[in-house]
Structure 1
Amino acid sequence: MHRHFILHKPHGYLSQFIVNGKKKKRNKLLGELYNFPEGTMSIGRLDRDSEGLLFLTTDGKVSYEVLSAKFEKEYYVQVGGLITEEAIQQLQEGVEIGFSGQKYRTKPCKASKIEAPTFLPIEDRHVRDERHGPKSWVSITVREGKFRQVRKMTAAVGFPTLRLVRYRIGNRILNQNVGEVFEVEGLN
């Protein structure tokens, strides 16, 4: 019998349960949040500096399905500078990024400027001082997931990512508090 979990991954945690090689003291792992069963894996990792909705499962088939283009993944991204309509259009059409030492053109996606998502149960973190210029938020929805893709996409259009929050996977949205873990019947 497989088990499935949904959680709000906090900033500062790795989306894994063990560290390959030497464990560094600064690495906080998901296993510290909850006593997950053996064989649990995260679906679509979020890096240490990212936060938001994360699925976990003991079923590799479910993992493969959620990672496929069948499921949209929506991110709320705080960027350095006031994002322009031109940059939004470039994101929508696809941009060239580096992936595995090669140039890669991202698939067309949905992108739009949004207001700061104060309605989300996200940490109120101050990512940089106002002296360093303005910040803005953009929603980016993709159906692919290359390594650090969203961060690379915003940088490619001239607006580096300051903060990344995964808001939605398929029909599931981020609605629990940071670090809360819920066991669910299925992830669809």
Structure 2
Amino acid sequence: MDYYRSNNGNIVWDWAWTRVPNSEEEKSEMEELVNMLQQWPISSNEDVWFWSGSEQNDFQVKEVRRSLTQQVDLNESVFSFFWNKWTTKKSLMFVWRAIEEKIPTASALAHRGMNLAGTICKTCGAAEETAVHILLQCNFAKRVWEEMTRKRRKAIQVMWHLWKARNEKIFGDGHNTEYVQQIGTV
């Protein structure tokens, strides 16, 4: 989808917003983005892929292989990175999103422009509800982590259960005993 069009030689940005920027921070970031985009000339030429490792700039698999063999010693032992196999993909994805503060905490939702009654943690009521707070700093989370010192292999699943317990408290009937019991048995 094109987000700009040419109008009498000028570029007009035409964003397909699902929600327009409404906070001062979002408006400022949008203005900064448009200013940065205006610094780059936009050509009417068709986009092309090219391989910077090739003298002709055309992409060929043999050029990639040649470039890689020049940079990597194939006889050297390779360091292997393995994802932990003892947890679910859903839990891993959740933790990755939590690290990026991309889970829908009260703070994140308010930052995205949602009108909320408050952003204080619904579990402890002591601090702003961020991903870090829910999963690490909340008094409830701290008690769970203290119990987990002997069971480190389940740490990522604990984060998932903390998130589910928080959601049950907010969206459920207010009783999260099922999740607390699950956390105690992992």
With the length of structure 1 as denominator, give the TM-score of the two structures.
0.20
From the two aligned structures, give the one with the greater helix fraction: 2
Higher normalized contact order (CA 8 Å, seq sep 6+, divided by chain length): 1
Q: Which has the larger radius of gyration?
A: 2
